[in-house]
Amino acid sequence: MAEKIRWIAHIKSLRARHGVGIYEAERLALSDARWRRWVAHQVNSDAQCRKLALHHIAEHGTAALLYERGGRIHVGE
């Protein structure tokens, strides 16, 4: 749970520091390999995170930061 709170705080910090929206802040956060690994684990092990990830994929299409393949969700590069 602490990591989820850190993720949210990190996104808020990136938004404030760079003056960007949530999508761009998430893109910036996912440029860090540690956060990419953490997000990949979360979206494949936590039902609520998976639901949100699938919504993100459906909403953003080919511009999504995540993609689904073989029943697993992956973080785009």
Residues 7 and 41 sit within 8 Å (Cβ to Cβ): no
Q: What is the pLDDT confidence band of residue 63, given thresholds at 50, 70 and 90?
A: very high
Cα distance between residue 17 and residue 38, in whole Å: 22
pLDDT in tens, 26-43: 999 999 999 999 999 999
Spans of all domains in the chain: 2-75
| Contact yes or no for 40/68 (Cβ under 8 A) | no
CA-nearest of 72, 77, 34 to 53 is: 72
* pTM of the shown model: 0.87
Q: What residue type is 13 in one-letter code?
A: S
Q: Is residue 2 over pLDDT 90?
A: no
